[in-house]
Amino acid sequence: MLEYVTGPDDPRLSDYTRLRDVELRKSLEAERGLFLAEGEKVIRRAVGVGYPIRSVLTTPRWLASLEDVLGGATVYVVSDEVMTGIAGFQVHRGALASMERLPLPAVETLLKGGARRLLVLEDLVDHSNVGAIFRSAAALGVDGVVLSPRCADPLYRRAVKVSMGAVFSIPYARMDDWFEGLSQLRSAGFQTLALTPDQAATPMNEVEFAERVALLLGAEGDGLSSRWLEEADLTVCIPMSAKAMAAGVDSLNVVAAAAIACHGLMREAGS
């Protein structure tokens, strides 16, 4: 159903307004159980895995390309100028969709689902980093992602956008209890590897992986907490070149480290 809207303050567009106010968006999304998907490709991926569309906000020139995925959803059609006024930025991919969230599985369910390679994210708060890590994990064959209680929301708009919709293609769950979180992983038979920039740790390429492996990644800047570093079965690192070390480059950012580590995890995973 098409509804033409002429102004950014129309109450029908409440799902989409003030997108730059991060705290407001977080509160709104939690309260209403929604998230925003930006762009045709991301919207298609979300619909393809079963997320229901609440509504779509788009401009006339994007209607035809989205028609086959919209079903009976309400579509608010606005001018380019109104779209920019609503979003607070240029929406280059032409459309925003308000999607209903699906219930997250319990961590226990994810662990019992036959996964062999997991990423476990501890307190990563940057949505862009979380989205980029999900993209690497999905591309490189990781079976799932476990989030600590304070980790950023993978369905926040920025995370979804950066991941190019990869957050929809890899299962994830959120811990209820950070303090005992690694015990739950070990009880399910996972070898826990704590990734650290410390070059005294075991290089990833020298690790003898168990049948089931959970790789722990820590927060931007601070890295993993001392508790998780101490509790992990093994601390591991990505070896830096001597030239880099001599130049003072002794670590990678968490996104680059995650991509390299995900590739390393696949060495003995049959991928």
Alpha-carbon span 208 to 264, nearest angstrom = 11
How distant is the alpha carbon of residue 205 from its chain centre? 26
pLDDT in tens, 199-241: 999 999 999 999 999 999 998 888 999 999 999 999 999 998 8
Alpha-carbon span 157 to 136, nearest angstrom = 18
Asked whether the beta carbons of 199 and 238 are under 8 A apart, the reply is no
Output phi, psi for 140, to 5 deg: -105, 10
pLDDT in tens, 121-164: 999 999 999 999 999 999 999 999 999 999 999 998 889 989 99
Output phi, psi for 227, to 5 deg: -65, -50
- Distance spanning both ends of the chain, measured CA to CA: 44
pTM value is: 0.87
Using DSSP, state whether 79 is helix, strand or coil. coil
Residue owning tokens 């001392």 = 226
Alpha-carbon span 77 to 95, nearest angstrom = 10
**Residue intervals in the chain for CATH 3.30.1330.30:** 2-100
Asked whether the beta carbons of 195 and 262 are under 8 A apart, the reply is no
**Residue intervals in the chain for CATH 3.40.1280.10:** 107-268
Beta bridge partners of 77: 4, 58
What percent of the residues of the chain are helix, what percent strand, and what percent coil, each to the nearest 5? 40, 20, 40
Alpha-carbon span 242 to 108, nearest angstrom = 42
Angstrom CA distances, 111 to 17, 106, 114, 182, 225, stand at 38, 9, 7, 12, 22
Nearest to 156 by CA among 125, 118, 135: 125
pLDDT in tens, 163-190: 999 999 999 999 999 999 999 999 999 9
Q: Which CATH number fits domain 107-268: 3.40.1280.10, 3.40.50.300, 2.60.40.10, 3.30.70.20?
A: 3.40.1280.10
pLDDT in tens, 69-109: 888 899 999 988 888 877 665 665 678 999 999 989 999 99
Question: If one looks up domain 2-100 in CATH, what number appears?
Answer: 3.30.1330.30
Using DSSP, state whether 80 is helix, strand or coil. helix
Nearest to 212 by CA among 183, 185, 175, 179: 185
